[in-house]
C-alpha cells in the first residue's frame, strides 16, 4: 500500500536534540511526562 510509519515521539525527540524552537517548547512538556499539545506537534 505504500504506507509510511510516522512516530510523533521520535520526531519530537529529534526536534529536542536539534534544539529547535518547537523542540524547546516540546521539551518543557516531555520532561514533566505530559503530552505535548497539538499546536506544537502539528508543525
- Residue-level pLDDT, tens digit, the chain, 43 residues: 999 999 999 999 999 999 999 999 999 999 999 999 999 998 6
C-alpha cell at 32: 514533566
Kindly report the backbone phi and psi dihedral angles of residue 6, in degrees, each rounded to the nearest multiple of 5, phi listed first: -120, 125
Q: Can you give the three-state secondary structure of the chain, one letter per residue? A: CCCCCCCHHHHHHHHHHCCCHHHHHHHHHHCCCCCCCHHHHCC
Sorted by where each begins, the domain ranges of the chain are: 8-41
Q: Is the dihedral of CA 22, 38, 30, 11 positive or negative?
A: negative
Amino acid at each position: 500500500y505504500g504506507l509510511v510509519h510516522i512516530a510523533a515521539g521520535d520526531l519530537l525527540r529529534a526536534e529536542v536534540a536539534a534544539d529547535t524552537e518547537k523542540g524547546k517548547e516540546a521539551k518543557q512538556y516531555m520532561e514533566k511526562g505530559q503530552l505535548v499539545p497539538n499546536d506544537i506537534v502539528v508543525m
